[in-house]
Chain A
């Protein structure tokens, strides 16, 4: 028999809340909408209880108690905003800032610093401390390939230490010495170098740990934020894309690059609070080496073309093949970096033509571990599988090399990597029209007869399906560069010109149609996906879609 669910009811600031046993007072306060401030507490780490800023008053307790380590008990009466509590908080803050330098102007954390925030919210005291500050040794020292440490700014909350001990279990960081000589640091000769090191910068509530990649690049108050999903591997970690939203007026920042950094976004079912460094620093391709123009082969070089011209040429070719009943002479290579929407429109449009030589290029394999990183380094293999697309690219390419294709349309992937230099050349010579549609320059660009620029994931709306079958939304953070367009949009334009009529004009519409045509996606919509995504419905579940549980 299942045990009866016990609950605890307590009063927080006059509001009664009911929580499961084992809940801390801090969590209960949050539930009661009376949040208390904290530094060392992190929902993803063990409780240290050393920063002391989460003080609350609990009736019948002689002194103020820390909310993060005290368990809620039946009938407890908690006050989070009494005079005693406010005074306590102020004093704790003053202690934390006793040895703190006046570094905010040069500190990268300024603007998103918890010391600044709490000082403005709970501090505002007149400094009573007029002794000499204890200077710490480490200032702006590198403690690993990605992270800089400033010991003076550290409040010794030990979040970063606990992250390395509990999450990555690598234990690079430690707190050395005692009293006000305590210092955070690394063990001699053992730099902070693990695949998740960047997360310590996120957990550090102050500017003690800063990210070398982001350092001095941009002030945080210039940043805009867009929810998205990391395209770095099939895990599909939830992220926020931070772009320089003032770039119109401040083009000098980071040489005009648009994306400044990525930060993990909380999703309890995928990545919790974390992301790997490969994904974190894998945003550079968004602003580097981009294809921004339609280009057409002209002798041995290329000339700039227009979308109109390119689409005209493509529709002409497709029509000619259709009229000559030669549609089996067209081949398409898709990519697992495309969104579900792109893949679906490709499947419908090319399928509508009757093109059967269509395959998805398998993803690049890379390093993996049992935490977040997956060997499949593409975000949407599962989506392509769920749509029943073939992965037999070899067959398509072999047909091309045997001169059985006159049109080969390659999306994103690199033919040279796929087939080898020699065969890629043969293929380019044997087909009449080799189309490359992608976002970044690669070796296929030198072979293709037509280059179509496409938008990267940060420039379009859509969804990816991660390895577990969770469909998650990506959102447009910035406009496509130059003439680039999302792949599905281009395919719809081709379809339009060849006389198909489509009922949707945005990614949401495409997804709606996808959900109603593809059994695997039944019942899903952007509303159902929300911010945290939803699982693909299981086979044989309620076909009305009610079986898909958005909370899974």
Chain B
């Protein structure tokens, strides 16, 4: 019996083998005509629908494949998770214990954590600073998967991750704990290190 690797190898060889062209394909001109046909159908269809939309007709049929974001939003899979957030304990301190597993597993290497000693020995460790560069993130969700504390999550159905600069894509620990607290014109506080008191104050000030 062929082993799995044999089977795989066979499939790869199959895929690489060039199919011999039929006589119809070899004369070449019909293929050109076919291509022109596909292009023209789309062209005329879009032209017609765009004009019709202008005068208020056929609005429910989309004119082109292009989605007119943000006026129009494509439905996405309900499982889609995008923008990260850090979960808080009751008093506003991060639930994250700074184990650095997410930092380690992240294939884009875009998580940066500096841990500190927590005064409560049953917690022992917490993230003094936690930075995540969404500009580098590939949204694989491994960080969420690996977290032993359920401290990092990704929000559902968020498409509006955009910024005017690279720095705008950078989430510092404040922004991660309190999403949306930073104005998009403000620069991130990269690598800012916070004490437990600071976290509590942040929560109280809302």
Q: Mark interface residues in B125-168 (1 if CB within 8 Å of A CB, else 0).
A: 10001010000000000000000110000000000000000000
B101 near A105 with CB under 8 A, answer: yes
B125 near A106 with CB under 8 A, answer: yes
A106 near B114 with CB under 8 A, answer: no
Q: Mark interface residues in A217-242 (1 if CB within 8 Å of B CB, else 0).
A: 00101000000000000000000000
* Cβ of A15 under 8 Å from chain B: no
Nearest CB in chain B: distance from A538 CB, A: 52
Q: Mark interface residues in A95-119 (1 if CB within 8 Å of B CB, else 0).
A: 0000000011110001000000000
A249 near B98 with CB under 8 A, answer: no
* Cβ of A375 under 8 Å from chain B: no
* Cβ of B103 under 8 Å from chain A: yes
* Cβ of A216 under 8 Å from chain B: yes
- In the complex, what residue of chain A is closest to B125 when comparing beta carbons? A106
30 contacts between A and B (CB under 8 A): A104-B148, A105-B97, A105-B99, A105-B125, A105-B148, A105-B149, A106-B97, A106-B123, A106-B124, A110-B99, A139-B121, A139-B122, A139-B124, A140-B117, A140-B121, A140-B124, A141-B121, A215-B117, A216-B98, A216-B115, A216-B116, A216-B125, A221-B104, A249-B109, A250-B109, A250-B112, A252-B112, A252-B114, A252-B129, A252-B191
> Which residues of chain A come closer than 8 Å to B173, judged between CB atoms?
none
Tell me the chain A residues, 242-285 only, with Cβ under 8 Å from chain B. Answer: 249-250, 252-253
* Cβ of B177 under 8 Å from chain A: no
Nearest CB in chain B: distance from A223 CB, A: 13
A24–B124 Cα distance when bound, in Å, is 41
Helix, strand, loop or mixed for chain A's interface?
Answer: loop
> Which residues of chain B come closer than 8 Å to A140, judged between CB atoms?
117, 121, 124
> Which residues of chain B come closer than 8 Å to A249, judged between CB atoms?
109
> Which residues of chain B come closer than 8 Å to A252, judged between CB atoms?
112-114, 129, 131, 191
A140–B121 Cα distance when bound, in Å, is 6
- In the complex, what residue of chain B is closest to A111 when comparing beta carbons? B104
A412–B121 Cα distance when bound, in Å, is 44
Q: Mark interface residues in B80-101 (1 if CB within 8 Å of A CB, else 0).
A: 0000000000000000011111
Nearest CB in chain B: distance from A104 CB, A: 8
> Which residues of chain B come closer than 8 Å to A105, judged between CB atoms?
97, 99, 101, 125, 148-149
A106 near B117 with CB under 8 A, answer: no
- In the complex, what residue of chain B is closest to A135 when comparing beta carbons? B122
Nearest CB in chain B: distance from A253 CB, A: 8
> Which residues of chain A come closer than 8 Å to B103, judged between CB atoms?
250
- In the complex, what residue of chain B is closest to A216 when comparing beta carbons? B115
> Which residues of chain B come closer than 8 Å to A141, judged between CB atoms?
121
A219–B125 Cα distance when bound, in Å, is 13
A253–B115 Cα distance when bound, in Å, is 9
Tell me the chain A residues, 61-104 only, with Cβ under 8 Å from chain B. Answer: 103-104
- In the complex, what residue of chain A is closest to B149 when comparing beta carbons? A105
> Which residues of chain B come closer than 8 Å to A253, judged between CB atoms?
114
> Which residues of chain A come closer than 8 Å to B117, judged between CB atoms?
140, 215-216
A369–B122 Cα distance when bound, in Å, is 40
Nearest CB in chain B: distance from A208 CB, A: 13
Q: For chain B, give the interface size range.
A: 20 to 34
Q: Mark interface residues in A427-461 (1 if CB within 8 Å of B CB, else 0).
A: 00000000000000000000000000000000000
Closest 8 CB pairs between A and B?
A105-B99, A140-B121, A139-B121, A106-B125, A106-B124, A252-B112, A216-B115, A105-B148
A343–B101 Cα distance when bound, in Å, is 46
A452–B128 Cα distance when bound, in Å, is 39
Nearest CB in chain B: distance from A213 CB, A: 13
> Which residues of chain A come closer than 8 Å to B97, judged between CB atoms?
105-106
B100 near A219 with CB under 8 A, answer: yes
Tell me the chain A residues, 124-143 only, with Cβ under 8 Å from chain B. Answer: 139-141
Interface centre among A110, A139, A141, A216 (most CB of B within 10 A): A216
A141–B148 Cα distance when bound, in Å, is 24
> Which residues of chain A come closer than 8 Å to B99, judged between CB atoms?
104-106, 110
> Which residues of chain A come closer than 8 Å to B101, judged between CB atoms?
105
The 8 Å CB contact of B104, one of A104, A106, A216, A219, is A219
- In the complex, what residue of chain B is closest to A139 when comparing beta carbons? B121
Nearest CB in chain B: distance from A150 CB, A: 8
> Which residues of chain A come closer than 8 Å to B115, judged between CB atoms?
216
Q: Mark interface residues in A409-424 (1 if CB within 8 Å of B CB, else 0).
A: 0000000000000000
A415–B31 Cα distance when bound, in Å, is 87
A219–B100 Cα distance when bound, in Å, is 8
> Which residues of chain A come closer than 8 Å to B100, judged between CB atoms?
219
Interface centre among A103, A140, A221, A249 (most CB of B within 10 A): A140
- In the complex, what residue of chain A is closest to B116 when comparing beta carbons? A216
Instruction: Name 6 extra pairs, CB < 8 A, besides A103-B124, A252-B113, A252-B129.
Output: A106-B99, A106-B123, A106-B124, A216-B117, A249-B109, A252-B114
A250–B115 Cα distance when bound, in Å, is 13
A538–B59 Cα distance when bound, in Å, is 99
> Which residues of chain B come closer than 8 Å to A110, judged between CB atoms?
99
A106–B116 Cα distance when bound, in Å, is 11
> Which residues of chain B come closer than 8 Å to A103, judged between CB atoms?
124
- In the complex, what residue of chain B is closest to A255 when comparing beta carbons? B114
Interface centre among A106, A219, A221 (most CB of B within 10 A): A106
Tell me the chain A residues, 174-225 only, with Cβ under 8 Å from chain B. Answer: 215-216, 219, 221
Nearest CB in chain A: distance from B129 CB, A: 7
A5–B4 Cα distance when bound, in Å, is 55
A105–B114 Cα distance when bound, in Å, is 14
> Which residues of chain A come closer than 8 Å to B122, judged between CB atoms?
139
Nearest CB in chain A: distance from B81 CB, A: 22
A250–B111 Cα distance when bound, in Å, is 9
Tell me the chain A residues, 1-43 only, with Cβ under 8 Å from chain B. Answer: none
- In the complex, what residue of chain A is closest to B109 when comparing beta carbons? A249
Nearest CB in chain A: distance from B57 CB, A: 56
- In the complex, what residue of chain B is closest to A105 when comparing beta carbons? B99
Nearest CB in chain B: distance from A437 CB, A: 36
Nearest CB in chain A: distance from B149 CB, A: 7
> Which residues of chain B come closer than 8 Å to A216, judged between CB atoms?
98, 115-117, 125
A250–B110 Cα distance when bound, in Å, is 9
A469–B114 Cα distance when bound, in Å, is 44
A215–B114 Cα distance when bound, in Å, is 12
Nearest CB in chain B: distance from A106 CB, A: 4
Nearest CB in chain A: distance from B190 CB, A: 9
> Which residues of chain A come closer than 8 Å to B109, judged between CB atoms?
249-250
A215–B123 Cα distance when bound, in Å, is 15
Nearest CB in chain A: distance from B110 CB, A: 10
